[in-house]
Copies of this chain bind each other. A is one copy, B any other.
């Protein structure tokens, strides 16, 4: 285990009807004038936004609204939100939605009290301070409800970048599994895949002696495998939704990723797919992960064999551990396909002729000066091209 810092100060209010507590929670964390930030019309149509307003009214808290966040949230709406917050003297940003809404709210909260351009934070400046943020989560996937991260796409060049800082960790997050029950099967499966990816990215490490975090990550992937299957069989299964929702937070607030190097190659490689073909992030990860792991398997056969045995229930082949390792990767692939995720480039809408361009942008675009990606295995453009070819 390596030295580390861990800080996750968010107050989590979990369970049925908890959105009704949002007025009291905003008050508890010092908010008086709130910006309610949300996405499309589903939060309005479902009555969620009305319940939120009702709770704020009961607590005597003033509010204004800004809807319209899209998946892969954009800088334009962030600038609009910042102007609105300044003009209306907003002192608290309340995100009602999934990861995109929360990430957009984080950008607005940081930008509102910063004299420069908020985009500075997405070019590497650590976010020390922001307006306080609360979230009401409606999709279990991105883990933004418990993280100090935000990803925004700058419309000037369509550049997608991440920012980080303790200043944008939510003061509170309300996790009501019922709010995720109306998600269609495909988006539910995308969320499951995203959570599993957050766990694999942490599992694939070169750090030694990381028993406690290895075991914790395995327990969460096991949970996703079991509860993911349950929820796909019955999308209204509250208990399966609840287990997935808590697992999604624990998977990404980094309590299970501390003290170890991490990978994140699958996220980097997927990112180019969703940027170019506008596919869902989870769907892209479902195709990317098995390819990356197949390519990297020989780097640490015993690590892949370990997860194959402990999580995927494979029998250890002591005469041929690599066989077990690869069986585990195939078991992951089968699981993802079984919940309705795509299995290859074609199903994703990606094209073979774009591979060179995809690999080039992945390794040389987005301000990447090293020309390499991956914390587990260092991958150059030719490696990334080979990985994309494994997805055909």
Q: Which residue of B lies closest to A21 (CB)?
A: B5
Q: Which residue of B lies closest to A9 (CB)?
A: B9
Cβ proximity bits A106-144 to B, threshold 8 Å, 1 near / 0 not: 000000000000000000000000000000000000000
* Residues of chain B contacted by A19 (CB below 8 angstroms): none
Give the size of the chain A interface in residues (CB under 8 angstroms).
Answer: 43
CB proximity of A343 to chain B, nearest CB, Å: 27
Cβ of B14 and Cβ of A6 under 8 Å apart? yes
Q: How far is the CA of A15 from the CA of B258 in the complex (A)?
A: 11
Cβ proximity bits A223-237 to B, threshold 8 Å, 1 near / 0 not: 100110000000000
Q: How far is the CA of A376 from the CA of B123 in the complex (A)?
A: 52
Contact of A243 among B1, B7, B18, B218 (CB under 8 A): B1
Cβ of A243 and Cβ of B2 under 8 Å apart? no
Given A12-B7, A14-B6, the answer on whether A255 and B255 have CB atoms closer than 8 Å is: yes
Q: For the complex, is A11 an interface residue (Cβ under 8 Å from B)?
A: yes
Q: For the complex, is A212 an interface residue (Cβ under 8 Å from B)?
A: yes
Q: For the complex, is A35 an interface residue (Cβ under 8 Å from B)?
A: no
Restricting to A34-89, which residues have a CB under 8 Å from any CB of B? none
Given A1-B239, A8-B8, the answer on whether A258 and B14 have CB atoms closer than 8 Å is: yes
* Residues of chain B contacted by A9 (CB below 8 angstroms): 8-9, 11
Q: For the complex, is A4 an interface residue (Cβ under 8 Å from B)?
A: yes
Cβ of A216 and Cβ of B250 under 8 Å apart? yes
Contact of A220 among B14, B212, B220, B243 (CB under 8 A): B212
Q: For the complex, is A208 an interface residue (Cβ under 8 Å from B)?
A: yes
Q: Which residue of B lies closest to A224 (CB)?
A: B212
Q: Which residue of B lies closest to A209 (CB)?
A: B239
Cβ of A243 and Cβ of B12 under 8 Å apart? no
* Residues of chain B contacted by A246 (CB below 8 angstroms): 1, 212-213, 258-259
Q: Which residue of B lies closest to A5 (CB)?
A: B13
In the assembled complex, 29 residue pairs joining A and B whose CB atoms fall closer than 8 Å, in A order, are A1-B14, A2-B15, A3-B14, A3-B15, A3-B18, A5-B11, A5-B14, A6-B11, A6-B12, A7-B10, A7-B11, A7-B12, A9-B11, A14-B259, A208-B239, A209-B239, A209-B242, A210-B243, A212-B227, A212-B244, A212-B246, A213-B246, A215-B219, A215-B220, A215-B222, A215-B223, A216-B220, A246-B258, A246-B259
The 5 closest A-B pairs by CB, nearest first: A3-B15, A209-B239, A9-B9, A215-B219, A219-B219
